[in-house]
Amino acid sequence: MDLSGEEASTAREAQPYDVANGGGRRSRSWRVGSYGPNTAIVYALDELRRKSRDQARKNPYAGAAVDRLVTNIVGTGIVPRSVAARSYEGLTKPQAKKRKAEDAAFRAQLQRLFLGWTDEADSVGAHDFYGLTALAVRGMVEGGESFIRMRTRRPEDGLTVPLQLQLLEGDHCPHLKTDVAARIRQGIQYDAIGKRIGYWLYREHPGDGLIVSGAIEQALVPATDVCHLYRAMRPGQDRGEPWLARALRTLYDLDGYLDAELIRKKNAARLVGFVKRVITGERDEPLDVDPADADGVATLEFEPGTIQVLADGEEIEFSDPKDVGPNFEAFVREAKRGVAAACGLLYEVLSGDYSQLNDRTLRAALNDFRRAVEQWQHHLVVFQFCRPIWIRFIDLALLSGALRLPAGMTRQDAYAVNWIPQAWPYIHPVQDVQGKTMEIQAGLSTRTRKVAEGGYDAEAVDAEQAGDNERADALGLSYTSDGRQKARPDAAASPDDTPATGPAEPAD
Contacts of 129 (CB under 8 A, 6+ apart): 77, 117, 118, 119, 121, 122, 165
CB contact at 8 A, 347 and 361: no
pLDDT in tens, 183-236: 999 999 999 999 999 999 999 998 886 666 667 889 999 999 999 999 999 999
State which amino acid sits at residue 412. Q
Q: How many CA atoms lie within 13 A of 259 on its CB side?
A: 9
Give the integer Cα–Cα distance in Å for 84 and 107: 6
Contacts of 480 (CB under 8 A, 6+ apart): 487, 488
- pLDDT at position 469, please? 87
* Lowest mean pLDDT across 154-168, 252-266, 277-291, 373-387: 277-291
Give the integer Cα–Cα distance in Å for 248 and 231: 18
Handedness of CA 407, 411, 414, 416 (dihedral sign): negative
Is 248's pLDDT higher than 60? yes
State which amino acid sits at residue 154. R
Is 288's pLDDT higher than 80? no
Q: Please choose, from the candidates 38, 33, 32, the residue with its C-alpha nearest in 3D space to the C-alpha of residue 234.
A: 38
Residues in the chain, overall count: 508
The confidence band for 134, taking pLDDT boundaries of 50, 70 and 90, is very high
Give the integer Cα–Cα distance in Å for 171 and 47: 12
Q: Please choose, from the candidates 460, 505, 461, 500, the residue with its C-alpha nearest in 3D space to the C-alpha of residue 104.
A: 460
CB contact at 8 A, 314 and 286: yes
Tell me the helices (H) and strands (E) count for the chain, helix number first: 15, 11
Give the integer Cα–Cα distance in Å for 302 and 319: 14
Please state, rounded to an integer, the average pLDDT across all residues of the chain.
85
What's the whole-number mean pLDDT along residues 291-319?
65
CB contact at 8 A, 377 and 358: no
- pLDDT at position 309, please? 59
Give the integer Cα–Cα distance in Å for 446 and 154: 43
Is 24's pLDDT higher than 80? no
Is 343's pLDDT higher than 70? yes
- For residues 442-474, one letter each, b for 16 or more C-beta atoms within 10 angstroms of the residue's C-beta and e for the rest, the string is eeeeeeeebbbebbbbbbeeeeeeeeebeeeee
What's the whole-number mean pLDDT along residues 313-318?
68
Could you give the C-alpha distances from 220 to 154, 224, 240, 384, 475, in angstroms and in order?
Answer: 22, 12, 20, 20, 63
Q: Please choose, from the candidates 170, 203, 168, the residue with its C-alpha nearest in 3D space to the C-alpha of residue 186.
A: 170
- pLDDT at position 21, please? 66
pLDDT in tens, 62-108: 999 999 999 999 999 999 999 999 988 888 999 999 999 999 999 99
- pLDDT at position 270, please? 64
Is 307's pLDDT higher than 60? no
The confidence band for 45, taking pLDDT boundaries of 50, 70 and 90, is very high
Which sequence spans correspond to the domains of the chain? 273-318
Residue 84 burial (CB < 10 Å; 0-12/13-18/19+)?
buried
Give the integer Cα–Cα distance in Å for 140 and 148: 11
Give the integer Cα–Cα distance in Å for 281 and 96: 113
CB contact at 8 A, 87 and 393: no
- pLDDT at position 98, please? 93
pLDDT in tens, 396-409: 999 999 999 999 99
Q: How many CA atoms lie within 13 A of 315 on its CB side?
A: 3
- Across-strand partners of 418? 81
What's the whole-number mean pLDDT along residues 150-179?
95
The confidence band for 143, taking pLDDT boundaries of 50, 70 and 90, is very high
Contacts of 153 (CB under 8 A, 6+ apart): 159, 162, 163, 164
Cβ neighbours of 278 (radius 10 Å): 9
Report the alpha-carbon angle 327-329-335, nearest 5. 100
pLDDT in tens, 488-507: 444 444 444 444 444 444 44
- Across-strand partners of 164? 151
